[in-house]
Amino acid sequence: MARFRYQKKDGEFGAALASMEIPIGFAGTAAIAEAADIIKREGRQDIAAAGFSKRWQNALRVNLYPKRGASMNAAAVIYHKIQYAGVFEEGATIVGKPLLWLPLPDAPKGRGGASIRPSEYRARIGHPLYSIRRPGKAPLLGANIRVTKARSQKGISLSQLKRGRNPGGKGEVRLVPLYIGVPRVNIRDRFSIREITERAANRLADLYLKHLNPNS
């Protein structure tokens, strides 16, 4: 029977562990970065499939830590720049106080293509909104807009909204509904970012081995 004896040398284990820190840190950081790329790519595709604009898609972001180099404590933070995006992940019921005013197709658009809220309308357009009561139906908010026959078929432009009642223009002035008031809105879940993140997290072990042994 063969016998082996191992004699420990001071600092040997620590030195061996330190020599592995660089490849372990590199593999861990690379695995986190690849998983984050998967989440960002598939997450943006998921948002697009739900019918949301490029702005909404690109607002899904990833921050990697550390920002440079490698670390055994690498991490990624996945977030959406639009603060209320979470309601489309989990669904929600939003209740008005007393009403929520939802934009109709002719409501003016602001920066990024988002509709201007009624509270912003006067400051942005320069003309007031008027209540339109409809017995037994949801109330409306509208504006007096000068509309020609040709342009009325193409929708209401921002310049038409700003002209409003201005005298001397072509066409007739109409009270055009821009917003509808409802007591509440039920928003169903439309995103699957959490599910996409969990799938990518479950792949971390394989991604780690892939980057630890790039030639295997």
Is residue 190 over pLDDT 80? yes
pLDDT tens column, 87-126? 999 898 989 889 999 999 888 877 767 788 888 888 888 7
Q: How far is CA 33 from the centre of its chain?
A: 20
- Please compute the mean of the pLDDT values over residues 171-189 and round it to a whole number: 88
Report if pTM > 0.95: no
Q: How far is the C-alpha of 99 from the C-alpha of 96, rounded, in Å? A: 4
pLDDT tens column, 40-61? 999 999 999 999 999 999 999 9
Q: Pairing between strand 172-187 and 140-147?
A: antiparallel
Q: How far is the C-alpha of 131 from the C-alpha of 213, rounded, in Å? A: 68
